[in-house]
Structure 1
Amino acid sequence: MKWQRARQSQNVEDRRGQRAPAMRGLPKMGLGGIALVLIVGWFMGVSPVEMLSLLTQQGGTSAGSSSSSAPPTSPQAQQEARFIAAILGETEDVWGRIFQQSGQTYPAPTLVLFSGQVRSACGAASSAVGPFYCPGDKQVYLDTEFFDQMDKRLGGGGDFAEAYVIAHEVGHHVQTVTGTSRPVVEARRSGQNVEGADGLLVRQELQADCFAGLWAHHAQARHDWLEAGDIEEALSTATAIGDDQLQKQARGTVVPDSFTHGSAEQRVRWFKIGFETGDFARCDTFGTRRL
Structure 2
Amino acid sequence: MKWQGRRESANVEDRRGAAAAGGAGVIIMLLRFIIGRFGIRGVMILGVVGLGLYMVGVNPVSLLQGQSASTQQAAPADDNTSRFVRVILAETEDVWSTLFGSNDYPEPTLVMFSGSVTSACGYASAASGPFYCPGDKKLYLDTSFFNELAERFGAPGDFAAAYVIAHEVGHHIQTVTGISNQVRSAQQRAGNEVEANALQVKMELQADCYAGVWAHYADRTSKILDAGDIEEGLRAANAIGDDTLQRNAGRRVTPESFTHGTSQQRQDWFTIGYRNGDVNRCDTFSAGSL
Structure 1 residue 231: Cα displacement: 1.1
Match of 1:96 in 2: 97
Structure 1 residue 232: Cα displacement: 1.0
Structure 1 residue 72: Cα displacement: 6.4
Structure 1 residue 194: Cα displacement: 5.6
Q: CA 1:198–1:160 in structure 2 vs 1: closer, same or farther (change >3 Å)?
A: same
Alignment deviations for residues 14-53 of structure 1 (CA, whole Å, 9 cap, x no partner) = 01111224649xxxxxxxxxxxxxxxxxxxxxxxxxxxxx
Q: CA 1:5–1:207 in structure 2 vs 1: closer, same or farther (change >3 Å)?
A: farther
* 1:220-239 correspondence runs (5 A): 220-239=219-238
Match of 2:37 in 1: none
> Which AA in structure 1 matches 2:90?
G
Contact 1:23 1:124 in 2 (8 A): no
Contact 2:132 2:168 in 1 (8 A): yes
Q: Which runs of 5+ in 2 are unaligned?
A: 25-66
Answer with 237-246 or 205-214: which moved more: 237-246
TM-score, with structure 1 as normaliser: 0.79
Q: CA 1:5–1:284 in structure 2 vs 1: closer, same or farther (change >3 Å)?
A: farther
Contact 1:197 1:256 in 2 (8 A): no
1:67 matches 2:71: yes
For 2:231 and 2:128, the matched residues in 1 are separated by: 25
Decide which structure has the larger Cα Rg and report it: 2
Q: CA 1:11–1:141 in structure 2 vs 1: closer, same or farther (change >3 Å)?
A: same
Alignment deviations for residues 159-203 of structure 1 (CA, whole Å, 9 cap, x no partner) = 000000000000000000001223321023335446469811110
Structure 1 residue 250: Cα displacement: 1.4
Overall identity of the aligned pairs, in %: 57
DSSP 3-state at the match of 2:221? helix
TM-score, with structure 2 as normaliser: 0.79
> Which AA in structure 2 matches 1:158?
G
> Which AA in structure 2 matches 1:175?
Q
Aligned residues: 247
> Which AA in structure 2 matches 1:240?
A
Answer with 273-282 or 147-156: which moved more: 147-156
1:9 matches 2:13: no
Q: Which runs of 5+ in 1 are unaligned?
A: 25-63
Ranked by relative contact order (alpha carbons within 8 Å, sequence separation 6 or more), the top structure is 1
Q: CA 1:197–1:245 in structure 2 vs 1: closer, same or farther (change >3 Å)?
A: farther
DSSP 3-state at the match of 1:251? coil
* 1:1-291 correspondence runs (5 A): 1-4=1-4, 6-21=6-21, 23=23, 67-71=71-75, 73=77, 78-100=79-101, 103-190=102-189, 192-193=191-192, 195=194, 199-287=198-286
Q: Whose helix proportion is higher, 1 or 2?
A: 2
> Which AA in structure 2 matches 1:67?
T
For 1:269 and 1:194, the matched residues in 2 are separated by: 25
